[in-house]
Amino acid sequence: MTTKTSNFGTSSREGHDSTDYYKRNMSTSFLDIVQLNSKSSHLTRAERIIPDHNDSWKNKIYNHSSEDMFEIPNNKIGVAFTSPPYNVGKDYDEDLSVEEYMELIHNVGREVYRVLKPGGRYIINIANLGRRPYIPLHAFFYQVHISLGFIPSGEIIWKKGNGANGSCAWGSWQSSKSPCIRDIHEYLLVFNKERVGRPDKGTSDISKEEFMKATLSIWDILPESAKRVGHPAPFPVDLCKRVIKLYSYQEDTILDPFAGAGSCPVAAKQLGRYYVGYDIVKEYCEIAKKRLGDVEWPPRKQSVQS
Ligand SMILES: C[S@@+](CC[C@H](N)C(=O)[O-])C[C@H]1O[C@@H](n2cnc3c(N)ncnc32)[C@H](O)[C@@H]1O
């Protein structure tokens, strides 16, 4: 039996019919805004049609800015997953103003939109910054990507620990004078190009258990050691695998426009997908290539750990 949107909520949502909810003005007016933005930013991208000769651009790490991913033809990528530089003083960070920083994010987002397939996903890992003031970077990311025509389709809290990690940046101890919140999470913002579902067909390889876990909005995954990987802020490969398995088909190409030491391409290769990555630091590109060279091919059948 299917359920419907009701004043009193619904107990189970298997086969749930949400047509009435999505007919409401809140949803339709939001979609109108996104579609209008998508059309207007598409006009500027129309000049950027890159000839699609062959697949030779795949399975490469490129050492230049992802503000221009001229190697990739339009509409080719199933999933882009990335963690941009946070502009907080890491080795690779410039000291950009919020406007300059968001311009970089905008330029890269516009290119990601161009290369994604219709229904393709752009998943961005981002943390909010500081306390005095607290900079809600994720709010800026929503603004920029909605203005580019991306459709938001979910938000995941990546819980990186349980708070017992020795951080004592709690502000005024046991006093209301100036307590500080210690973040133990970051965000994964999920955006889609043109539509929320994939119009094309492909092979999914996610198990029942993995799917049940991955479709919950809080993910408990421990961070990766910077020292072990040789990069100041690497992704855990298991985080990438969970994203890739949930959001991509086996035949897809996975893009990381800020690839660093290549954790996302490594996860893509381990899962039998094609990959492509960009980073402006040569040394990180070399680490990524080395890690990719160590991945067994073809991959053994494996599942996501957590
Ligand atoms: C947070 S790190 C990504 C780390 C990566 N997820 C990993 O697992 O190693 C951000 C990366 O973006 C790179 N970067 C900064 N500006 C860039 C740009 N315009 N184009 C491409 N890469 C850039 C930095 O060099 C840095 O390695």
Residues 6+ apart with CB under 8 A from 237: 224, 263, 266, 267, 270
| Ligand 1 mean position, distance from CA 260 (Å) | 5
| Ligand 1 mean position, distance from CA 168 (Å) | 29
| Ligand 1 mean position, distance from CA 205 (Å) | 28
Q: Is 279 in the pocket of ligand 1 (CB under 6 A)?
A: yes
The stretch 206-235 carries a mean pLDDT of 96
Q: Is 231 in the pocket of ligand 1 (CB under 6 A)?
A: yes
pLDDT-derived band at 305, boundaries 50, 70, 90: very low
Percent of the chain with pLDDT over 70: 90
Residue with the two structure tokens 């209301």: 176
pLDDT-derived band at 161, boundaries 50, 70, 90: confident
Which pLDDT does position 228 carry in this prediction?
94
| Domains, the chain, ordered by start | 1-47 (no CATH), 55-293 (3.40.50.150)
Which pLDDT does position 36 carry in this prediction?
87
Amino acid code (one letter) for 36: L
User: What Rg, from alpha-carbon coordinates, does the chain have?
Assistant: 20
Report the Cα 302 to chain-centroid distance in Å: 22
- Torsion angles phi and psi, residue 271, rounded to 5: -95, 10
Neighbour tally for 94: CB within 10 Å: 10
Q: Is 81 in the pocket of ligand 1 (CB under 6 A)?
A: no
| Ligand 1 mean position, distance from CA 279 (Å) | 5
Amino acid code (one letter) for 174: Q
Please say if the pLDDT value at position 215 is more than 90: yes
Question: The pTM is what?
Answer: 0.91
Strands (E), the chain: 60-62, 77-82, 116-126, 151-159, 185-192, 218-220, 253-256, 274-278
**Atom 12 (ligand 1) nearest CA:** 258
Q: Is 107 in the pocket of ligand 1 (CB under 6 A)?
A: no
- Label the pairing between strands 253-256 and 185-192: unpaired
pLDDT-derived band at 300, boundaries 50, 70, 90: confident
The stretch 147-174 carries a mean pLDDT of 88
Q: What is the dihedral of CA 228, 123, 294, 205, to 10 degrees?
A: 130
Rounded Cα distance between 166 and 233, Å, is 19
pLDDT-derived band at 91, boundaries 50, 70, 90: confident
Rounded Cα distance between 141 and 146, Å, is 8
**Atom 18 (ligand 1) nearest CA:** 65
Tell me the range of 37-51, 93-107, 254-268 where mean pLDDT is highest.
254-268
Report the Cα 73 to chain-centroid distance in Å: 20
Which pLDDT does position 181 carry in this prediction?
92
pLDDT-derived band at 75, boundaries 50, 70, 90: very high
Alpha carbon distance, N-terminus to C-terminus of the chain: 34
3-state secondary structure at position 270: helix
